[in-house]
Amino acid sequence: MRYPFSKKLETIPPSGIRRFFDLVLTSEDVISLGVGEPDFVTPWQIREAAIFALEKGYTSYTSNQGLPELRLAICDYVKERFGVQYHRDHETMVTVGVSEGVDITLRALLNPGDEVILPEPTYVCYDPLVKLAGGRVISVDTSKSGFIPDPKAIEKAITPKTKAIILCSPNNPTGRVIPKSILLKISKLALKHDIWVISDEVYAEILFKGKYTSFAALPHMKERTILLSGLSKAWAMTGWRIGYICAPEEVISRALKIHQYAILCAPIASQMAAIEALRHARKPIKQMAHSYLQRRDLFVDSLNDIGLDTFTPEGAFYCFPSIQKTGLSSEEFAIQLLEKERLAVVPGSVFGKGGEGYIRCCYASEIGELKEALKRFKRFLL
Amino acid sequence: MNKLEQEILALLKTNARIASSDIARLVKSDEKAVNKIISKLEKSGIIVKYATIINDEKTPEFKDTVRALIEVQVQPQKNTGFDAIAKRICNYDNVVDHYLISGRYDFLIIVEGSSLQDISQFVSEKLAPIDHVKSTTTHFMMKKYKQDGMIFENTSELSRLAVSA
pLDDT tens, A253-271?
Answer: 999 999 999 999 999 999 9
Which contiguous run of DSSP H or E holds residue A116? strand A115-120
Under an 8 A CB cutoff, do A37 and B160 touch? yes
Instruction: Return the pLDDT at A347.
Output: 95
Question: ipTM of the assembly?
Answer: 0.78
- Arithmetic mean of pLDDT, A162-190: 98
CATH class of B56-142: alpha beta
pLDDT at A94 over 70: yes
Q: Phi, psi at residue A295, to the nearest 5°?
A: -70, -30
- Arithmetic mean of pLDDT, A107-121: 98
pLDDT at B134 over 70: yes
Instruction: Return the pLDDT at A26.
Output: 82
- Arithmetic mean of pLDDT, A286-293: 97
pLDDT at A1 over 80: no
β-bridge mates for residue A343, sequence order: A31
- Binding-face residues of A in 291-320 toward B, CB within 8 A: 294-295, 297-298, 301-302
- Arithmetic mean of pLDDT, A316-345: 96
pLDDT at B158 over 80: no
Under an 8 A CB cutoff, do A17 and B160 touch? no
Render A37-87 in DSSP notation, one character per residue.
S-SSPPPHHHHHHHHHHHHTT--S---TT--HHHHHHHHHHHHHHH-----
**Rounded to whole angstroms, how far apart are CA atoms A281 and A283?**
6
pLDDT at B159 over 80: no
CA distance A375 to chain B (A): 14
Under an 8 A CB cutoff, do B28 and A297 touch? yes
- Neighbouring residues of A250: CB distance < 8 A, sequence distance ≥ 6: none
With bands split at pLDDT 50, 70 and 90, how would you rate the model's confidence at B155? low
Which residues of chain B have a CB within 8 Å of the CB of A124?
165
With bands split at pLDDT 50, 70 and 90, how would you rate the model's confidence at A19? confident
Which residues of chain A have a CB within 8 Å of the CB of B160?
32, 35, 37, 39
- Arithmetic mean of pLDDT, B5-24: 95
Instruction: Return the pLDDT at A25.
Output: 83
Domains of chain A: 7-42+283-381 (3.90.1150.10), 59-281 (3.40.640.10)
A25 — contact with chain B (CB < 8 Å)? yes
Q: What is the mean pLDDT of chain A?
A: 96
Instruction: Return the pLDDT at B55.
Output: 86
With bands split at pLDDT 50, 70 and 90, how would you rate the model's confidence at A187? very high
- Arithmetic mean of pLDDT, A111-118: 97
Give me the residue spans of the domains in chain B. 3-43, 56-142
A366 — contact with chain B (CB < 8 Å)? no
With bands split at pLDDT 50, 70 and 90, how would you rate the model's confidence at B157? low
pLDDT at A53 over 80: yes
Under an 8 A CB cutoff, do B165 and A24 touch? no
From the candidate CATH numbers 1.10.1760, 1.10.10, 1.20.1630, 1.10.3470, the one assigned to the domain spanning B3-43: 1.10.10
CA distance B130 to chain A (A): 44
pLDDT at A174 over 70: yes
